[in-house]
Amino acid sequence: MMSTISLFPPDALPAPDTDATDLQLGPGAWVLRGYALDYVDRVLTQLRQIRRQSPFRHMVTPGGYTMSVALTCCGAAGWTADRKGYRYAAIDPETGQPWPAMPDVFLALARQAAEHCGYAGFAPDSCLINRYVPGARLSLHQDKDETDFCAPIVSVSLGMPAMFQFGGLKRSDRPEKIPLFHGDIVVWGGPDRLRYHGVMALKDNPHPLLGSNRINLTFRKTG
């Protein structure tokens, strides 16, 4: 069994509450504690196939910044970034081939989590898969490269814990900090759909299954 030593200060990232139920962050936003746990084995099996077809890579932003988070995608459209901008594309720019198809288990998990939060009929056509290692972070941003904001965002956390930042509709709004753990899902839509959000730099707090890695699956309907 792996021996894990927590490097978080005692008040930085509390232990998950195994008796917790849904945590509401706003009128259209929730954290579903442990909702994905029953899916983990099947999700990771499919992820291994996806990364063989479209490996993780560190993309460069329009400003020339190399992202600390590595990413790949699956589904009909994959999110990409380069010096020309941010966009969705059907072709993986690294392989020149279509992105891997979205596995049924991915789609089922996203749909059920969305429906649980009142977003029936969610049909994502894109899953952005981010891999975080210690020190990786994601600055505050809005998910606004989609053409239709009616559908929610569904974000699944696996592996190392992270501190999620959930802000307001303006970048200057002070974000709330919410610890996320293996198996948690965040769903936001409706009046919360364009709220700024991000992930603080990860500490090295290895997970028994994924070690010093955090995997995040973000499901979106692009159009």
Instruction: Confirm or deny that 148 is annotated as ligand binding.
Output: no
CATH number of the structural domain spanning residue 47: 2.60.120.590
pLDDT tens per residue, range 128-184: 999 999 999 999 999 999 998 999 999 999 999 999 999 999 999 999 999 999 999
Answer yes or no: is 11 within a domain: no
Residue 50 in marked binding region: no
| Domain assignment present for 176 | yes
Measured distance CA(90)–CA(133) in Å, rounded = 27
Q: What is the pLDDT of residue 10?
A: 31
Question: What total number of domains does the chain contain?
Answer: 1
Residue 13 covered by a domain: no
On whether 130 is known to bind a ligand per the annotation, the reply is yes
Q: Using a CB cutoff of 8 Å and minimum separation of 24, what contacts does 119-123 make?
A: 119/151, 119/152, 119/187, 119/189, 122/151, 122/152, 122/154, 122/219, 122/221, 123/151, 123/221
DSSP state, 182?
T
Model pLDDT, residue 2: 27
197 annotated among ligand-binding-site residues: yes
**Residue 48 phi, psi dihedral angles, 5° rounding:** -60, -40
Task: Tell me: is residue 88 an annotated ligand-binding position.
Answer: yes
205 annotated to bind ligand: no
| Position 7 pLDDT exceeds 70 | no
Residue 57 counted as an annotated binding residue: no
Q: Is 51 annotated as a binding residue?
A: no
Residue 104 neighbours by CB under 8 Å, 6+ apart: none
Q: Render pLDDT for 31-56 as a digit per residue (tens, 0 to 9).
A: 999 999 999 999 999 999 999 999 99
Q: Is 193 annotated as a binding residue?
A: no
Whole-structure pTM value:
0.90
- Is 58 assigned a ligand-binding role in the annotation? no
Examine residue 9 and state whether it is found in any structural domain, yes or no.
Answer: no
CA atoms within 13 A on the CB side of 206: 10
Q: Does residue 3 register a pLDDT over 80?
A: no
In a domain, 14, yes or no: no
Answer yes or no: is 132 a known binding residue: yes
